[in-house]
Structure 1
Amino acid sequence: MSTVTRKRYLIAAVALGLATAAISVSAATADPSGAPTPRALNGVGSDTVQGVENALANAITDGSGTKLLGSWDATGSATITTVPGNAACTITRPNGSNAGRNALENSLQANDGCLQYARSSSLNLTSAAPVPLTYVPFAIDAVTYAVTSGSNVPRQLALTDVKAIYHCDPNYVGTAPNYSLKVLLPQAGSGTRSFWESTVGITDADVVAGKYACISDKFNGQPIEEHDGRVLDNNSIAPFSIAQYIAQSSNTITDHRGQAVLGTIDGLTPTVENGNFGVTREVYNVIPTSKVGDPQYASVFVGPSSKVCTNVTILNQYGFATDPNCGSTASHT
C-alpha cells in the first residue's frame, strides 16, 4: 500500500465515527507489605516498570534473607508513607518517571532518608539534577501504538505514518475542530509519554502549548494512565508498552487492556522478543551518583552481576528483554 493510499484509507476509515462508551478507570496497588518496615531502599515513579519492580522487591534479599527493596506503586492512595514515624516521609504518591525523579531529588536534598531510588522508563539528562543522579539500566522494553480490535485505524503502519498522526496531519486525522481520529498520550510526567514524543518527533512543551490540537491526554476529563487500553475506542490511538501488554495478557499484572491490540510498525510485529522490535528503550533505576559505590546499592543495582540484573526469569516473565548494558553507570546528570 502506498503512503498516499494509506493516508486516504486511514482518513476515510476513521470518518465512520463510533461513539465512546463510558469507562471506569481504576488501578490496583501493590505497595510494600511485610517485614522489614521500612525497607532499606525505597523507590517510586514509573508505572511501566512497577510490576516487575514489585516482583524484584519480593525476590531480592540480603545475605540474611531480609528484603531490601520497597517499590511503591504509581497509583493508589493519594499519599504514601515510606518510613513510618517520620512525618517527612508521608508524601503525595508520585505517578510517573518524572514525578518519581522529582520526589527522589526532594528527599535527597532534604536528607530525610525517605527515598533511595526512583523507577524510570525514560532517560532524562536534559538538565542537571540538584543532587547528581545516575540512571542504571536494567531491561529493554519496546513501545508501539495500540488501537481497538475493531479499530478503523490500520493495524499496520510505517513509523512515518505514526509520526504524521502525532503531528496532526489532516490527511490522517481530519481537520479541526472535529478531528476524525483521537490521538492520545498518557498523563504528564509519564516516561512513556516523553519517550513516545521523542519517537514521533514532537516536544512536550508544544503539546502543552496546544500546537498539536488533535492530541489529548484526558479521558472523561481525567488524565490518561499509561498502558490502559480501556480509554480506546474505534477511532483512537495511543502508545503502549509491549512489556506491559505481555504482562497484562498473561495476568502477571492487572489486565487493563480492554479491547486494545498492538499495531505493527514498519512490518515488525510486537512479540515477547521485544528487544528486537524497532522502537525500543531501556528502563532504569535512578540512584544517587554518590551511592554508586555503596555496597548495598551496588549489590542490588550496579553491574551485570547485581541482584536486579541476575533475576532474568522475573524480567522475562514481565515481558522485558534482557539488556546487555544492565547495571551500567554511564548515564548520569
Structure 2
Amino acid sequence: MGRNALATGIIATAAAAVLALSSAPAAAAAPPSDGVHQTISFVGSDTIEDFTNAYVNGLTKNDNTSVYGGWNNDGVANPGHEDTAVNVVARLDAGQSISVPVDGSCTTPITYDSTNPPPDGSGAGRDALFAANNRNAGTTSCIDVARSSGGPRVGTDPSGNAVYDQFALDAVSFATFGSAPLNLTLTQIRSIYNCNVTDWSAIAGSGKTGTIHRYLPQAGSGTRSFFIATILGGTFAPNSATCPLDESLQENDATGVAAANQSTALMAYSAGQWVYQNVGEFHAVDKTAGNWIGTIAGVAPATGDGATATINASAVKDGSFVGSRGLFFVTDNRLGANFTAAQRVVGLNQTGVSPLCNGDVSSVITDLGFVPLDQQEDGTFCVETVVS
C-alpha cells in the first residue's frame, strides 16, 4: 500500500502554531479593515486545524509553489485586514508553550503550555469560547473563534449568541489496518463497540482474527462525539480484559496505535483528514500509519490510496454515506468588536462576506480533503445558524 513520507511546511502539525506572514499574494478580496489592531485566535477541532492554517496563512505545494495566498497576505501595508496577523492557536505537545498576545481586545494574554494545554477538540473549543472568563463586554476576549466538526448544541450553547458558519462537509467512518479497506454494516460496528462481538473471526469476510482492540478519540473531540452518536447509535461498552477500549487516541492520528495492536485495531477517522494525509501534496504529515478508512454498508466515504485518495463527494453531499457531517467556525456575538472582526475572517457580517463564504477558497477546501458547500440562495457558500 503506497504511503507518503512525513513532510513539514507551513501547514501546522499537532503542535501549537502562531502563523507568520509569508510573501505569497492574496487570492481573494476581503471585507475592509475597521482599523482596529486585532488578533483573531482560534482553538478547537483537530479535524480542521490544517485547513484553518492554510486559509489564514496560505497554501503551497510540496515544491513551495503557492496555491493560495491566505488572509494575512493581502499585499498592502497593513496585513491581515485588521492591521495585524491572525493567530491560530492549536493543541500543544508536551513541553511547548504559546501566548495569545495582548491587543485591542485581549487585555490579559492567555498562555498555553504543557501544564495549561489549550482546548483540544470541538467541544472543548466551543466551551472555552463561550466561557464567562472569555468575555467582559467585549473588552477582554482572547479566544475569538472555535473550530468545530460538530454542529449547534441546542441546550448547551448560549441561546441567541452562538453563531455557527458551516463552510464544508466531511464524513466520519471507522479505520482498520490491513491490505485493503473493510466493509462493515452499522450493526457489525455497533456489535463490536458494545462487546457483543469481541473477535475478528466472528466478522465474516474481514480476513482478520484475534481480539478486537477498540479505539475512540480523546475527550472533547467532535469526531468522537459524532462517531458515538451517529455510527455507534449512542452507546458503547467500557474497557475490559476481554474487550479492550482505549479512549486516549488523538483524533485523526493512528500513530498512537501500538504496532502489536494494529492488525486488530478499529478506530474512528475523518475521511477528509485521511485523504489529506494520504495525498500529502500540501506539506501534509501522514498520521494514518498505513490504515484504511472503512466502507459502511457498501458506501465508501473515500476511495483510492496515497496520491489517488479522494473523498466521495457525491455520497457525502447527498447523505448516502451515513457518517456525513458539517464543518463549522463558531463565534460568540457577545464579544463585541471581537465578534465583528472574527466574522470578517470566517463568516457573514454587515461589512461584507468573508473569503471563506464568498466561494473564493472552495479549491482550498477541496485541496485539504473536504467538500465545499454548493452556492446557497443568498449567493454565498456558507450556511449561518444562530443557536436558538
Q: Same fold (TM over 0.5)?
A: yes
Aligned-pair distance for 1:155? 0.9
Task: Name the counterpart of 1:117.
Answer: 145
Which of the residues 180, 184, 189 maps onto 1:162? 189
Look up the equivalent residue of 2:165 and give its one-letter code. V
Could you state the TM-score of these two structures normalised by the residue count of structure 2? 0.66
Residue aligned with 2:101, SS: coil
Q: Tell me, what secondary structure is at the counterpart of 2:277?
A: helix
State yes or no: 1:328 paired with 2:314: no
Cα distance change, pair 241–98 in 1 and its aligned pair in 2 (3 A): same
Distance 1:129 1:98 in 2: 10
Which whole-Å deviations, capped at 9, do the CAs of 1:127-147 have from their partners, x for residues lacking one?
333583112111111111111
Which among 302, 305, 329 is matched to residue 347 of structure 2?
302
Paired residues of 2:91 and 2:119 also in contact (CA < 8 A): yes
What's the offset of the Cα at 1:254?
1.2
**Is the CA contact (8 Å cut-off) linking 1:292 and 1:302 kept in structure 2?**
no
| Amino acid of the structure 2 residue aligned with 1:306 | S
Aligned to 2:71: 60
Give the counterpart letter for 2:355 in structure 1. K
1:41/1:70 contact within 8 Å kept: yes
Question: Identity over the aligned pairs, expressed in percent?
Answer: 25
Superposed, which structure 2 residues align to 1:248-259 within 5 Å? Answer: 248-251=277-280, 252=282, 253-259=284-290
How far apart are residue 288 of structure 1 and its match?
Answer: 0.8
Aligned residues of 1:45 and 1:100 also touching (Cα < 8 A) = yes
Provide the alpha-carbon RMSD of the alignment. 3.4
Distance, in Å, in 2 between the alignment partners of 1:301 and 1:291 is: 15
What's 2:91 paired with? 74
Q: Distance in 1 between matches of 2:365 and 2:221?
A: 21
Instruction: Name the structure where helix makes up a greater proportion of residues.
Output: 1
Q: Distance in 2 between matches of 1:316 and 1:187?
A: 26
**Per-residue Cα deviation, 1:48-90 (whole angstroms, up to 9, x for no partner):** 0000000011111469462263222223355431115854422
Change (3 A) 1:180 1:118: same
- After TM superposition, the structure 1 = structure 2 runs for residues 212-227 of structure 1, keeping only pairs within 5 Å, are 214=243, 216-218=245-247, 223-227=248-252
Cα gap change, 1:267 to 1:298, in 2 (>3 Å): same
Equivalent residues in 2 for 1:1-333 (5 A)? 28-29=14-15, 31-34=17-20, 40-58=39-57, 59-61=70-72, 64=76, 66-67=79-80, 69-76=86-93, 79-84=97-102, 87-91=108-112, 92-106=117-131, 107-110=133-136, 111-129=139-157, 132-150=161-179, 155-170=182-197, 180-203=211-234, 214=243, 216-218=245-247, 223-232=248-257, 233-251=262-280, 252=282, 253-269=284-300, 270-271=302-303, 272-275=310-313, 276-277=315-316, 278=321, 279-290=323-334, 296-303=341-348, 305-309=353-357, 310=359, 311-324=361-374, 326-332=381-387
Structure 1: gaps of 5 or more residues: 1-26
CA distance in 2 between counterparts of 1:44 and 1:155 reads 34
Normalised by the length of structure 1, the TM-score is: 0.76
238-247 or 160-169, which deviates more: 160-169
Question: 1:216: Cα distance to partner?
Answer: 2.4
Residue 268 of structure 1 deviates from its aligned partner by 1.7
